[in-house]
């Protein structure tokens, strides 16, 4: 999906940043976060929401999900919704 505006943590200069910093950056950039880190990223996202801090959304994908299925799920999200719809939400993909 060439029109999709994506950025990796490496491209953002955050490859070594802790999860709270990644979530803070994403909120400031109005970006959804996509992560495999169900344990810590989810915990920090929930803390952020409980503190009423902005968070565009978090999409968690299990590492064992095949890459093709992951990409198809993300494309479906991108094609059928807007980023604003994900404000403050934590979801798990793929949806079944």
pLDDT tens readout for residues 13-68: 999 999 999 999 999 999 999 999 888 999 999 999 999 999 999 999 988 889 89
> What pLDDT band is residue 11 in, cutting at 50, 70 and 90?
very high
pLDDT > 60? residue 96 = no
Domain residue extents for the chain:
19-93
20, two tokens: 């709270």
CA 83 to chain centre: 10
2, 21 in Cβ contact below 8 A?
A: no
pLDDT at residue 45, as a whole number: 96
Peptide bond into 94 cis (omega under 30): yes
């Amino acid at each position: 999906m060439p029109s999709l505006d994506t950025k990796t943590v490496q491209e953002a200069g955050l490859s070594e940043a802790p999860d709270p910093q990644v979530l803070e950056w994403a909120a400031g950039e109005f970006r959804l976060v996509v992560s495999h880190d169900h344990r810590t990223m989810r915990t920090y996202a929930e803390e952020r929401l409980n503190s009423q801090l902005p968070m565009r959304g978090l999409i968690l994908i299990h590492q064992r999900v095949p890459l093709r299925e992951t990409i198809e799920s993300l494309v479906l999200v991108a094609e059928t919704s807007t980023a604003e719809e994900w404000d403050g939400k934590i979801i798990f993909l793929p949806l079944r």
